Amino acid sequence: MRVEQYRWEPAQPITRDYIYDFASVASLYEHNPWNESGDRERAAWLDQVGRPQADREGLVRALLAFNGRIGNSERAIDHIEALREPGTLVVTGGQQAGLFTGPLLVLYKAITVITEARQASQRLGRTVVPVFWIAGEDHDLEEANHTFVLSDSLAVQKIKLNASSDKKSSVSQWSIAPEAWEDAISQLEQTLMNTEFKSELIERLNSILAASATLTDQFARTIAWLFGEYGLVLVDSDDPDLRKLEADMFGAIVSRQSELSASLLKAKSRLEQSGYTAQVELHEAQAHLFVYHEGERLLLGKQGDSFTDRKGTVSFTERELADLAADTPEMLSNNVMTRPIMQDYLFPVLSVVLGPSEIAYWGLLREAFGLFGQQMPVLVPRYEFTLLEGTVQKQMAKFELEFEDVIRRLDEKQTAWLEAQGSLQVEELFAEAKAKFEQLYGPIVEAVSGINPGLRKLGETNMNKIVEQIDFLESRAADAFRSQHESALRHWERIRMSVLPNGKPQERVYNAFQYWVKYGGGWLRELMDMPLSRDGSHRIVYF
């Protein structure tokens, strides 16, 4: 396995500057991720007595219960026990619970979290625990209920969990029937090619599904299987035991709602004045919390002196909502703006691993952290990879394509190749023939219609039939060309669909098991063992 670095800039301008020109965005973030002193400064801040934090012993008990239930490794359990020590720190990162782990980027985020924790431990000379935060409280089931693999016909095949809910329930509270699991694994099995690794893989996934009541269970058990040996600790943000530890911070968020909204709007204005666009919609009336009501997760807003949802289904005074936070915190849930604050309250977060869009919206949060007596942690860009299989490498070499060509100008390169094969010249000849025929025949139609107006329709019909015959010959010529060059055209399509499926980076589309079924788990272990560094670059993996 060989790796090359490539500068593939993020779509978000603020993230682009965060990675390549940090000085221009330094006022929006707390620590420079490219300066090792940032980690030391953050660690020193976390060592302060009196900073707001959840009950550490309660956190350990909740993590032990959840990780024990999903069958995580002894090494992960040891890491949880290490959190009892005041000097232990955490590197975290997370994702929604996807079907069969979702896209490749989810595994890359886990790899980054584990690698960052290991390297930080070596730099700082203290225990740093890798923690993967599962966003089980999210209720967008349509984002979590599917994954994609590349089929033999070079189509992006959707593998979907055919289960639904008529309520906006959290992913962790959405029960999945056994027949829905069976259907999902059947779809995956039918789509993946038959190899020496397939039987064992499907057997393993079947055993995971059989033990899973929800998507979160399935996701957590799969990630624990893949990364437990590296000590990765898993946490479900919707875990009731965790919620009990969040009561005080929920209360603080309720009591300081107006200040929180003001700080976020101020940050949004500052960000826009710097020429960036806010990645999150913000307005003054947002409560930045959800409440559970009859199995649904309802977003709260502030209307006058009350907290209510958009439809007015529930309504609370500030006192009532504060009491709810204190007495039954499991009835509340964070939104995208308060989740980082709650995460920092629960864990001694040295650094957090984020994707490009996450780095962008975290640019709104620096003052919000300070509002609750906290400090924004170090933000580490997630590792990015593109996997180039041997067959794709050979096909790229055949057409003299570099990686840059594939992601920037593949259509242009393919057009040039087609032209060199004579295809475009034939197309031009047919187009020219039709144009000249219509130019010559049009006056004839006009002339005969002058003799007898009834002949115009006959002449036009006659002309259209001749054009149709030219089109028919052109179609047959195109078929002949495709037949002659079928193999080469398929190679072009394989390059396209392997690297940039549907115009998107590979890591955002494909599921890891389409590679596992071909190569086993060795490629993932090789990625884990690579001496990767924090540099914000994209990595091309040749294997």
Three-state secondary structure string covering 515-533: HHHHHCCHHHHHHHHCCCC
DSSP 123-172: HHTS-EEEEEEE-TT---HHHHSEEEEE-TTS-EEEEE-----SS---GG
Distance (Å, rounded) from C-alpha 528 to C-alpha 132?
A: 16
Greatest Cα-to-Cα distance within the chain, rounded to the nearest angstrom: 103
Cα atoms in the 13 Å half-sphere on the side-chain side of 253:
31
More confident residue, 215 or 167: 215
pLDDT tens profile 336-366: 999 999 999 999 999 999 999 999 999 999 9
Mean pLDDT of 272-284: 93
Residues 35-49: what's their mean pLDDT? 94
Strands (E), 20-124: 89-95
Under a CB-based contact definition with an 8 Å cutoff, are residues 143 and 96 in contact?
yes
pLDDT for the residue 473 = 83
Give the mean pLDDT of 139-143: 85
Phi/psi of residue 250, nearest 5 degrees: -60, -45
Residue 226: which of 110, 93, 134 has the closest Cα?
A: 110
pLDDT in tens, 76-92: 999 999 999 999 999 99
Task: Among 17-31, 40-54, 292-306, 410-424, name the one with the lowest average pLDDT.
Answer: 410-424
For residue 203, the tally of other CB atoms under 10 A from its CB is 10
Summary mean pLDDT of the chain: 94
User: Which pair of tokens denotes residue 55?
Assistant: 């009950």
Q: Residue 49: pLDDT band by 50, 70, 90 thresholds?
A: confident
Is 504 in a helix, a strand, or coil? coil
Q: State mean pLDDT over 526-535.
A: 93
Half-sphere exposure of 443 (CA within 13 A, CB side): 4
**Residues 6 or more apart in contact with residue 157 via CB below 8 angstroms:** 148, 149, 150, 151, 191
Element (H, E) at 79: helix 74-82
User: pLDDT band at residue 437, thresholds of 50, 70 and 90?
Assistant: confident
pLDDT in tens, 161-192: 998 777 788 999 999 999 999 999 999 999 99
Contacting residues for 522 by C-beta, under 8 A, at least 6 apart: none
d(CA 173, CA 141): 11
- Residue 428: what pLDDT? 76
Examine the pLDDT at 59 and tell me if it is beyond 60. Answer: yes
User: What pLDDT does 422 receive?
Assistant: 66
Please tell me the predicted confidence (pLDDT) of residue 286: 94
DSSP state of 100: G
- DSSP category for residue 383: P
Pairing between strand 306-309 and 315-317? antiparallel
At residue 242 the predicted structure's pLDDT band, cuts being 50, 70 and 90, is: very high
CA gap 96, 171 in Å, rounded: 9
Taking the C-alpha atoms of residue 491 and residue 154, their distance in angstroms, rounded to an integer, is: 10
Single-letter amino acid, residue 168: K
What pLDDT does residue 4 have?
96
Q: How much is the pLDDT for 467?
A: 85
Pairing type for strands 286-293 and 332-334 reads antiparallel
pLDDT for residue 425 is more than 70: no
More confident residue, 104 or 169: 104
The 10s digit of each residue's pLDDT in 473-515 is: 878 777 766 666 778 889 999 999 999 999 999 999 999 999 9
pLDDT digits over 443-482, tens only? 888 888 888 888 888 988 988 998 898 888 878 777 766 6
Instruction: Let me know how long the chain is.
Output: 543
Alpha carbons 371 and 216: distance in angstroms, whole number: 32
**Three-state SS at 83:** coil
**Residue pLDDT, tens place only, 372-399:** 999 999 999 999 999 999 999 999 999 9
DSSP-assigned letters across all residues of 184-209: HHHHHHHHSPP-TTHHHHHHHHHHHH
pLDDT score for 343: 98
